[in-house]
Amino acid sequence: MGSAMKPPSRPPRKSATAPTGDTRRPARPAVKGAAKARPPVPTAAKSPAKPRTPSKASAPVREKEGGEQRIAKLLARAGIASRREIERMIAEGRIALNGEVLTTPATLLTSLQGITVDGAPVSETEETRLFLFHKPSGCLTAERDFSGRKTIYDFLPKDLPRLMPVGRLDMTTEGLLLLTNDGGLKRTLELPSTGIERTYRARAFGAVTQTQLESLIEGVEIDGMRYGRIDANLERSTGHNKWIELTLTEGKNREVRRVLEHLGLTVSRLIRTRYGPFDLSDSAPGALIEIRRGDLDRFLGALKKLRK
């Protein structure tokens, strides 16, 4: 694969009005170069637990850390599918426990022992893994495409566990895409309430001033859709061609493109360069790098504190 054209080097940034509140992020781990993957930690065999379904007449049963969990949450944590997709699979009668088809996603379990999906046994939850994927332009962030277009999975090694993308990038958007085997981590990283920053660099055509870009720090409403604060800076301008860096925390569908179009710009290239403490570094399009165990543990610890 030919190397993609590199954006211009980054000049000193003009400061925008700082947002209020604590915006600290976890320390950035070094992710240059591939790290050697560690095998999943084996778990001791447990006796099958009888599932418990909360009665409609009783008060809702709260999940306890390390105790009973809803089956949809356990299966998502194991990387089978999203919680919403698992609920659909249960409604379709595709999930069973010890041969008995389950009928409700509210079923409470302590483990996945005895669970089958489409008749295939489900393994216990593997150790959380997180990968940085340099998504090339021209492929979909989807598991498959019935029209035959390339997806991100066409670039991934076949011996990896089932990996789920954290959020999505449009077909023509390139850059950093996080992949994980942990459905719970995927959901946490995607939630706007977690406050994880995403940084993009956009090449756009049109006239815009730094003052206009700085006004985005207060957010903007476009066609009834409210977009939160965006820290935008003009990096380079050659005639009507601009390189603009934008940092945001929501990541709504086509947010960067819509906001720049609202300012009268036409985006010709869009690259996500950072997601939380992780960045593209000097990786090539199509490259996949696994976060080292120590770096991941520190990140998960900081993320847990952030959510408290």
pLDDT the model gives residue 216: 96
Task: Give the pLDDT confidence score for residue 51 in this predicted structure.
Answer: 55
Q: Spell out the domain ranges in the chain.
A: 69-121, 130-307
For domain 69-121, give the fold.
3.10.290
pTM of the model: 0.68
170 is catalytic: yes
What is the per-residue DSSP string for the chain?
-PPPPPPPPPPPPPPPPPPSS----PPPPP--S--PPPPPPP----PPPPPB---TTSPPPPP-TTS-EEHHHHHHHTTSS-HHHHHHHHHTT-EEETTEEP--TT-EES--TTEEETTEEPPPPPPP-EEEEEEPTT-BSSS--TT---BGGGGS-TTSPP-EESS---TT-EEEEEEES-HHHHHHHH-GGG---EEEEEEEES---HHHHHGGGG-EEETTEEE---EEEEEEEETTEEEEEEEES---TTHHHHHHHHTT-EEEEEEEEEETTEE-TTPPTT-EEEPPHHHHHHHHHHHHHHH-
CATH architecture of 130-307: 2-Layer Sandwich (3.30)
Considering the candidates 22, 154, 170, 223, report the single residue annotated as catalytic.
Answer: 170
Within this chain, domains 69-121 and 130-307 share the same CATH topology: no
pLDDT tens for the 308 residues of the chain, in order: 444 445 555 544 444 444 444 444 444 444 444 444 444 444 444 444 455 554 444 344 455 555 788 888 888 877 787 788 889 999 999 999 999 999 888 889 888 889 999 988 887 667 899 999 999 999 999 888 889 899 999 999 988 888 999 999 999 999 999 999 888 898 889 888 888 999 999 999 999 999 999 999 999 999 999 999 999 999 999 888 999 999 999 888 899 999 999 999 999 999 999 999 999 989 999 999 999 999 999 999 988 887 66
